């Protein structure tokens, strides 16, 4: 039997990983240790396999992170810009700061959307990079609809820019945007965040030449 080092995962950590209460990316030590320790990887795998249906079906613990209540008069909602499986993005007017913003709202019919949305807010709030659209505010309206407001990038998607690039010179001009995306991903990975849905349509190219990751909808 192989003796495990003292730094191995505790029984509690293994149980929480198996139940999804603790995420691997939340603790850098766990990421590093699982990459190096085969016995611990097997213990976690066995714990996931043997998890009982009762434990898997239990409701997750109540998230202590509750989005603050926000007066709906703070924003004037405009047209819908985009829609995904979990939410929709509207153009809105921030009355207090007198500026246009992009606002993401949860689609209530999406199963588990509220919990995933809160998690996305927590992750986005710590990502500070020139090529990641910054989060301005997050909260919930009196009808319990959750939202977050972010910078509105005036431009189009990288997908559209690629489609318009008909010559080698025009395509080469898009290379700086790819480098900016790679730099943003390297930064996010350093924060233990993975996008999982990166594609040209999720990258915005602003009218001033800036590159911005439009959303991080499946970050983890």
Which residue among 94, 160, 183, 197 is the active-site one? 197
Report phi then psi at 193, rounded to 5.
Answer: -125, 130
Is 197 annotated in the active site? Answer: yes
CA nearest to 184, candidates 170, 203, 171: 203
Strands ordered across the beta sheet of 203-206 = 155-157, 203-206, 211-213
Instruction: Give the active site residues.
Output: 197
């Amino acid at each position: 039997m192989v003796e495990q080092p003292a730094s191995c995962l505790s029984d509690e950590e293994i149980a929480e990983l198996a139940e999804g209460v603790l995420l691997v990316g939340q603790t850098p030590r766990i990421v590093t240790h699982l990459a190096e320790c085969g016995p611990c990887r097997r213990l976690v795998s066995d714990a996931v396999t043997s998890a009982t249906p009762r434990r898997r079906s239990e409701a997750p613990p109540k998230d202590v992170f509750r989005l603050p209540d926000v007066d709906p008069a703070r924003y004037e909602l405009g047209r819908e810009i985009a829609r995904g499986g979990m939410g929709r993005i509207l153009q809105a007017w921030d009355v207090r700061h007198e500026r246009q913003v992009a606002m993401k709202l949860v689609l209530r019919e999406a199963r588990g959307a509220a919990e995933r949305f809160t998690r996305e807010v927590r992750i986005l709030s710590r990502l500070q990079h020139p090529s990641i659209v910054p989060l301005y505010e997050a909260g919930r309206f009196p009808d319990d609809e959750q939202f977050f407001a972010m910078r509105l990038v005036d431009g189009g998607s990288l997908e559209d820019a690629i489609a318009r690039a008909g010559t080698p010179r025009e395509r080469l001009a898009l290379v700086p945007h790819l480098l900016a995306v790679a730099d943003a991903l390297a930064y996010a990975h350093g924060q233990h965040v993975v996008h999982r849905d990166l594609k040209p349509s999720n990258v915005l190219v602003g009218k001033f030449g800036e590159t911005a990751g439009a959303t991080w909808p499946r970050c983890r």
